[in-house]
Amino acid sequence: MTWSKIAHWTQAISTSAVPSAVSDDVPAAESLKRHPENPAPATNHTQTSKRPRLLAPSELRPVGTPNRDRLRVWVPLNARVNQRNDTAHALADLEKLTNDIQGAFAPSTREAYGTGLFAFHAFCDSKGVPEEQRTPASPTLIAMFASSMVGLYAGSTACNYVYAVRAWHIIHGIKWSVNTEELDALLKSAEKSVPATSKREKRDPFTTAYILKIRAALNLQDPLHVAVYACLTMTFYATARLGEFVLKSLDSFDTAKHVKPSDVRVEVDRQGLSTTIFHIPSTKMVPAAGEDVMWARQDDDTDPKRALADHMRVNNPPADGPLFAYKHRTRGRKGDHKPLAWRKFLEVIDAAAKAAGLVPLKGHGIRIGSTLEYLLRGVPFEVMKTKGRWGSDAFLQYLRQHAQILALYIQANSTQHEEFIQLVMPPIRR
């Protein structure tokens, strides 16, 4: 199988929601998406699947390793654990060292890098690169790998795949040596050669008007709808990531990671202004200490304070359970709680949008819409960057894309133009 075809297979991983336990034979979950050349296995056991295998068999890469575990479990031929002096370094100590270094990478990063490592080995197999030449990977091999992705992958995907190989080297104690200028040029080329199939749809923002129409289409006597609306208004006015308040799956709740009713508090400042604060126990950027997000009462029906109070009254979620758990019937019983999962949240919002004659929006549009709403209210740029926990580059793209944000700052004799210039101008190099 050619690398071009393999690349299209692995691209399915980076552009669709794929669970962590990804098959080494098929990089996309069978239940979600199948490549047209790779139909579902027949139920008749006399027929055999003709699925191509993307990776050559190797004891170094156990079949069925979940994405999130590949950086650690796929041990390079010359990893530190294979080079040890038994009298000096116990295997258990070296394995602990590997695990500790892996801990520097967030779980979501390890998940993405697992896909990148898969792509790297698929590339090496297709080019006949022997194991002993994969680590340490030569600058030429890494450059060839990066070059192979130009025109096939989005620039961000190509970067992630290269950084996945780098992380793999670091975790296993292998020197990473590349031609930085050459690699940067190749990744920039990948960025400029994004195929149409890899371009993300524009993520339109939620607005307060949109949220009000969603509310009108919901049944606020239904415990599920009450929880969904509370979650929507809360994430909007807190400028939070939706994934920080809904679960990936019904059984993924973790008290050490997810927000609970016991993580909610109210603070009042010296002027008597009240703020509701939600402590997220663990985030990607601050996994150990977590971060706080917050909102204040609003004057219309998008008020998150009222929506949260309705949710607590109707659903009464357990203090140490998911914040947006809702009551539902189970086998005829009323009152059991069910956590609000990402898919269920979007299902309810999408149905309400269609009922209201609106175009359904992506979940990330909530945080984008929140950022724009506060900026339109005159919240200073730097304050909004802090509230939304935005990286500067990600933040500035919304200033460029939405003219209404810039309108105040580009008028003649605008008193706000100095603040805007200070934000967007590059720093002075000394």
Q: What mean pLDDT comes out for the span 151-179? A: 92
Q: Is residue 427 pLDDT above 80, yes or no?
A: no
Position 62, amino acid:
P
List phi, psi (to 5°) of 45.
-70, -5
Does residue 160 belong to any structural domain of this protein? yes
Give the residue among 120, 166, 163 at the shortest CA–CA distance from 10.
120
Q: What mean pLDDT comes out for the span 408-416? A: 59
Supply the pTM of this predicted model: 0.66
* Domain span at 286: 208-362
In the chain, what's the furthest Cα-to-Cα distance?
A: 79
Does residue 369 belong to any structural domain of this protein? no
List phi, psi (to 5°) of 39.
-65, 165
Clarify whether residues 241 and 290 are in a common domain: yes
Clarify whether residues 152 and 48 are in a common domain: yes
Query: What tens digit of pLDDT does each residue of 205-216 get?
Result: 899 999 999 999
Clarify whether residues 247 and 336 are in a common domain: yes
Does residue 420 belong to any structural domain of this protein? no
Q: Which of 312, 335, 362 is the last residue of a domain?
A: 362
Question: CA 376, 200, 395 angle in degrees (round to 5)?
Answer: 35
Residue 386's pLDDT is 85
234 and 307 Cβ atoms separated by less than 8 Å: yes
Least confident of 12-21, 67-76, 236-245: 12-21
Q: Which of 311, 340, 362 is the last residue of a domain?
A: 362
Higher pLDDT, 55 or 324: 324
Query: What tens digit of pLDDT does each residue of 63-120 get?
Result: 889 999 999 999 999 898 887 665 556 888 888 999 999 988 988 899 999 999 999 9
Q: Which of 156, 173, 198 is the last residue of a domain?
A: 198
Total number of domains in the chain: 2
Give the residue among 43, 143, 156 at the shortest CA–CA distance from 394.
156
Position 360, amino acid:
P
Q: What mean pLDDT comes out for the span 352-363? A: 94
Query: What is the percent of the chain where pLDDT is above 70?
Result: 73
Q: What mean pLDDT comes out for the span 353-364? A: 93
Clarify whether residues 256 and 129 are in a common domain: no
Clarify whether residues 159 and 268 are in a common domain: no
Sign, CA dihedral 353-359-363-366, equals: negative
Dihedral Cα 140, 144, 145, 150, nearest 10 deg: 140
Clarify whether residues 239 and 129 are in a common domain: no
Does residue 234 belong to any structural domain of this protein? yes
Dihedral Cα 391, 394, 398, 399, nearest 10 deg: 60
pLDDT band of residue 417 (cuts 50, 70, 90) is low
What DSSP assignment string belongs to 50-61? -PPPSS---TTS
Query: In 10 A of CB 286, how many CB atoms?
Result: 12
Query: What tens digit of pLDDT does each residue of 246-287 get?
Result: 999 888 999 999 999 999 999 999 999 999 999 999 887 888
Residue 390's pLDDT is 77
Clarify whether residues 295 and 170 are in a common domain: no
d(CA 392, CA 390): 6
CATH of the domain at 357: 1.10.443.10
Output DSSP code: residue 80.
Answer: G
Residue 83's pLDDT is 76
Q: Is residue 346 pLDDT above 50, yes or no?
A: yes
d(CA 340, CA 137): 44
Task: Spell 362-401 as b/e; 16+ CB within 10 A means b.
Answer: bbebbbbbbbbbbbeeeeebeebbebbbbeeeebeebbee
Q: What mean pLDDT comes out for the span 196-201? A: 61
Q: Is residue 22 pLDDT above 60, yes or no?
A: no
Clarify whether residues 60 and 153 are in a common domain: yes
Give the residue among 258, 254, 211, 255 at the shortest CA–CA distance from 236.
211
Residue 49's pLDDT is 40
Clarify whether residues 248 and 132 are in a common domain: no
Residue 25's pLDDT is 38
**DSSP 3-state of 76:** coil
Q: Tokens 């500067």 belong to which residue?
A: 392
Does residue 108 belong to any structural domain of this protein? yes
Clarify whether residues 130 and 245 are in a common domain: no
Clarify whether residues 232 and 122 are in a common domain: no
Does residue 260 belong to any structural domain of this protein? yes
Sign, CA dihedral 265-270-274-276, equals: negative
Give the residue among 267, 204, 273, 279 at the shortest CA–CA distance from 238.
279
Clarify whether residues 217 and 351 are in a common domain: yes
Q: What mean pLDDT comes out for the span 378-388? A: 83
What DSSP assignment string belongs to 359-411? ----TTHHHHHHHHHHHHTT--HHHHHHHHT--HHHHHHHHHH-HHHHHTTSS
Q: Is residue 348 pLDDT above 80, yes or no?
A: yes
Secondary structure E strands in 174-228: none
Q: What mean pLDDT comes out for the span 323-341? A: 82
Angstrom CA distances, 410 to 299, 383, 425, stand at: 30, 20, 15
Does residue 417 belong to any structural domain of this protein? no
d(CA 318, CA 325): 8
356 and 210 Cβ atoms separated by less than 8 Å: no
Does residue 411 belong to any structural domain of this protein? no
pLDDT band of residue 123 (cuts 50, 70, 90) is very high
